[in-house]
């Protein structure tokens, strides 16, 4: 009844990390598909799987087929798949469940909410898994599989999942881009990024101890016009950073003046 074997459709960051975790948990990955044979082969080597770059050669023996490709490509995969009597799931934060309905009667979403890089293994044990399924039996299967990997498994519908993904773009991608800017500002003056690490750690630890709203500090919050002016002058030769500084500072002021 449960899921005892998997085929991975996609060989990107998420597929790679999932594949490695499945194997570590005794769930064999029978096959890896990718458009490019080299990518399929590279992942298949680490998971001890077969590989293919042809969807018509898909292994038919697995319990679960996980589609983990860019959002735009999911529909193209779906149009070429016929997996009646199998369970199919995608791993996207933003694509609705129902996109998989043409493939089989048993379909779902298996979305790990984290950030995946090529060069850094992910700890799935604390990663929230957002599960959604076509029917209670599929739901049960996907929940079971997720609970094998993670202690934080949640039933989340497509609309909530899209909201969570949007929030994650702010919390992760946009946050990281602020760090890219900070890093570059220091590097341009020959100062090492490591001077900021305690500050960054404290920023994050405050988020957990108190809310982000209570944790806000800085010149914009204090409405310290002299520093804001000075900072904008320092950024005069870098119009992108200047625009970013200006917009975010204005929004901090607007947001917190409404709050009062």
| Residue 240 touches a copy of itself, criterion: CB under 8 A | yes
The stretch among 21-29, 76-84, 137-145, 196-204 that binds a copy of itself (CB under 8 A) is 196-204
Contact call for residues 66 and 15 (beta carbons, < 8 A): yes
| Residue 50 touches a copy of itself, criterion: CB under 8 A | no
> Which one of residues 128, 139, 140, 144 is an interface residue with a copy of itself (CB under 8 A)?
128
| Residue 38 touches a copy of itself, criterion: CB under 8 A | no
**Sheet-wide strand order for 106-112:** 50-52, 29-33, 6-9, 64-67, 87-90, 106-112, 129-133, 153-155
- Find the shortest distance in angstroms from Cβ 152 to a copy of itself: 7
Cα 5-7-12 angle, rounded to 5 deg: 130
DSSP symbols for 180-192: HHHHHHHHTTT--
The stretch among 1-9, 37-45, 102-110, 207-215 that binds a copy of itself (CB under 8 A) is 207-215
CA 228 to chain centre: 34
> Which one of residues 29, 113, 145, 153 is an interface residue with a copy of itself (CB under 8 A)?
113
DSSP symbols for 65-78: EEE-S-HHHHHHHH
> Which one of residues 82, 101, 218, 257 is an interface residue with a copy of itself (CB under 8 A)?
218
Q: How many residues bind a copy of itself (CB under 8 A)?
A: 91
> Which one of residues 83, 89, 122, 143 is an interface residue with a copy of itself (CB under 8 A)?
122
The stretch among 35-43, 54-62, 97-105, 222-230 that binds a copy of itself (CB under 8 A) is 222-230
| Residue 45 touches a copy of itself, criterion: CB under 8 A | no
Q: Where are the beta strands (DSSP E) in 115-173?
A: 129-133, 153-155
- Find the shortest distance in angstroms from Cβ 73 to a copy of itself: 10
Pick between residue 48 and residue 177 the one whose CB is nearest to a copy of itself: 177
| Residue 102 touches a copy of itself, criterion: CB under 8 A | no
Cα 91-97-103 angle, rounded to 5 deg: 90
Token digits of residue 189: 């003056």
Read off φ and ψ for residue 114, nearest 5 degrees: -160, -175
The stretch among 48-56, 61-69, 97-105, 109-117 that binds a copy of itself (CB under 8 A) is 109-117
Read off φ and ψ for residue 87, nearest 5 degrees: -105, 135
């Amino acid at each position: 009844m449960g899921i005892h074997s998997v085929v991975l459709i996609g060989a990107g960051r998420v597929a790679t990390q999932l594949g490695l975790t499945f194997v570590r948990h005794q769930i064999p990955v029978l096959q890896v598909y990718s458009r490019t044979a080299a990518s399929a082969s590279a992942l298949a080597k680490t998971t001890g799987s077969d590989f293919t770059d042809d969807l018509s050669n898909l292994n038919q023996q697995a319990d679960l087929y996980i589609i983990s490709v860019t959002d735009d490509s999911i529909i193209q995969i779906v149009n070429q798949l016929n997996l009646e009597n199998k369970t199919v799931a995608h791993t996207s934060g933003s694509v609705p469940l129902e996109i998989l309905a043409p493939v089989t009667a048993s379909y779902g979403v298996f979305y790990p909410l984290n950030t995946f890089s090529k060069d850094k293994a992910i700890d799935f044990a604390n990663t929230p898994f957002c599960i959604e399924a076509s029917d209670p039996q599929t739901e049960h299967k996907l929940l079971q599989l997720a609970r094998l990997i993670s202690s934080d498994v949640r039933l989340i519908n497509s609309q909530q999942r899209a909201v969570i993904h949007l929030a994650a773009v702010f919390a992760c991608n946009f946050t990281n881009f602020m760090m890219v800017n900070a890093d570059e500002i220091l590097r341009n003056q020959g100062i090492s990024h490591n001077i900021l690490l305690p500050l960054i750690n404290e920023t994050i630890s405050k988020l957990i101890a108190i809310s982000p709203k209570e944790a806000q500090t800085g010149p914009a919050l204090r409405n310290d016009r002299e520093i804001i002016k000075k900072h904008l002058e320092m950024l005069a030769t870098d119009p992108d950073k200047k625009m970013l500084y200006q917009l975010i500072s204005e929004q901090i002021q607007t947001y917190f003046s409404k709050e009062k």
